[in-house]
Structure 1
Amino acid sequence: MKMKALIFSSCLAVAFTTSTGMLAQENGLPIQVVQGNEDDLGNVTDEFQENFFEALKQKAIENYEKAIVALQKCEKLQPENPVVPFEMGKNYKLLENYEAAISSLQKANRLKPNQQWVLAELMESFYENKDYEEAIIIAKNLVPIDAGYYNNLADLYFKTQKFDELLQLLDRLDAELGVDEFRLGLRQQIFAITNNTPARIDVVKQAIKANPEDQANYLNLIYIYSEEGMEAEAFSAAEDMKIKFPNSRIVHLALYKFYLNDNKPEKALESMKIILAAEEIDAESKFKVLNDFLLFAAPRPEYQDDLNEVIALFSTSENSPQIYQKLGEYFLIKNEKEQALSYFEQGLTKDLDNFELIRNTLLLQLDLGRFQEASVLSEKALEIFPAQPVLYLVRGAALNQQQEFKEAEEALTFGLDYVIDNENMEVDFFEQLSITYLGLGNEKKSSEFLQRAKEKNNKLK
């Protein structure tokens, strides 16, 4: 019995020194974590200890329902012990039964009021149950116990769009603790939501003043100016950033766009090349830069050599399958089909799971008479996308062109079953099946499918 009591005591200590968890951090808010130290069970019987130990064990192995059953036995033995409904509430919360969790934790709070370890769990349960007003009440009770709960209160004010209360809270915290980037960022979110542009700009300027070495704050200011159509101010902020950070390559994310809009392509190209070669700039941002230049160069053939250089830079620095699809689409718009197909096929060597890219490649292969390549690619694609009718259609058409009529029949009849609510595609299948059966020497079936195609076409007109 002494050994059992020793084991129980150590488990109990673990139970009450475990974090009660954190609120959902949807707004990037740092949330207070509570360390409970309540271990006063009072006078307990051996039966109570055994059931409580069983509850802790079951909770540890994530059998929360069994833990609750054991705790219910404890509750019958010690109905006034606050630890029991507290543990029960935690188990209900882990089961995402927040109503039951709240009820149990409220009982624990009635039995032993205003304990931090209970209130924190109760606040989190209200939060998860989207009872934000109730959670705010609890958070306000927790703040005098630990100032760290101001973050929870701020999160709840933001969640309920109580922006006036939140700004007052932020003002108070700034006065007591000094300005920090987290609260500046929160203010910026508030002013963005409330369309308070002057205040939003002022907040970013405060952030620059608080941390003048952070380039992100300068970019935020440029972004806000641009978003509000204040192009002159945005360009001026970008130039200021370039002066402040003469070796910065990030600043060119803003500058290249201004140069393009201001019809200064040479300067834009210079900025783009810096961006595409910069390791610290992510692939998504680089892709946006390249896409902007594709749009710029499309109607201006004199920049084709520059575009090729930019493409080569991007391909060298980023191994992104998406770029090949975008380039293929660009050359397709220019009706340079061979070049487009080349990029599509390069993209597929890196991303065969991209259905849109597969479809575009297959259709272009058919258009250019690459029937062998289309039949091979469609066969591979059907292993990945076995329920896509267009793949069967392309495969059947490619096989027809190679006079592989038996295989074409199999592909087309099988694929036709997947066509749902697409009468235009049905016409394509009927026409290809007409070709197939003519090739197989079955003129009757060929005529039947040709007639079906004509009737369907007439209906669609």
Structure 2
Amino acid sequence: MIIREKNKDKRIRRIFVSKRSFLFSLFFMLLSTNFFSQDSIPEKEDLTEETELKFQQFFFRALSEKSIGNYKKAIENLESCNQILSNDVAVFFEFSKNYLFLKNTLLAKEYIERSLAKEPNNIWMLTHLVQIYIKDRNFEEAINTQHKIVAINPKKREFLVRLYVYNSQIREAFSLMDSLEKENVLSSSLKRLRNRLEVRKEYLTKKNLVQKDVKEEGSSIGLNELINQFKTDKSYKILEDILNKSTGNYKNLLKFSEEGIALFPAQPFLYLINGKVLNDTKNHKNALPVLQSGIDFVIDNEMEVDFYLEIAKAFKGLGNDKEKIKYLQKAKNLKNK
């Protein structure tokens, strides 16, 4: 009888180990196909087999829910992970990602700072913090954090150029691009960006063209009044309000987005609006180069997804299914980060 009980215990253990092995095999198989980002993988120590399995199950579910846009469900599973093992860096990182997707930048920042307190030089976490600052339009802190990233990986200087442009630090942007050119590492996209900045840099160097320096009362003014204001005050804020109030008015959207690109060549929102209108009016041939030019200036992941989707739409309209699928996949991959 004792022997049978021992054999029964062995069979149960083999089943448990087998299921555990299968789960981990599935987990790492998905990782190998880029289903999850490398920076999100926790390695647990000092847990029993049973609690470790529970932790990994909840973590796996959290990543799965995030990948399909169920961010609140993902957070629920992460809370279960946190109950099993508190103060885990990977769990905090995932909390931050999901809260950012939910546009709760306050909690997103709180959790990523907890992670960075333990791993201050983690480039993936620092990059995520930059995105949080961008979402809050806190470009000065985004630039400070990007400098930390550049100290770890100098190849990330290209993004620093874009942040300088967004913060109207045009002199710094040109200086850094000159340095990159001397090192023969200035990318083609930055060359295009520099050429556009040189065309109208006198507009970009004026402080009243930066959103942070303009009054916020424009959104309550009527469209016609905004258009009249824009005739004498060529500020980006007024232009943005005109475009936001012209939804569905393709004539206005096309006219003012084109004028805006000439005045503010580093504002990707203008290219996106212009490309969308051209796509919606079946002018895919002209939409594509506009969108491809504008994406060079994008620093926000959410807007980058919008660009990829519109570029895919343009390729679809041109009958190029291969490129359409390529950009749809880019959009999907970026959403899952």
Q: Return the TM-score normalized by structure 1.
A: 0.36
Larger gyration radius, structure 1 or structure 2: 1
Write 1 or 2 for the structure with the bigger share of helix: 2
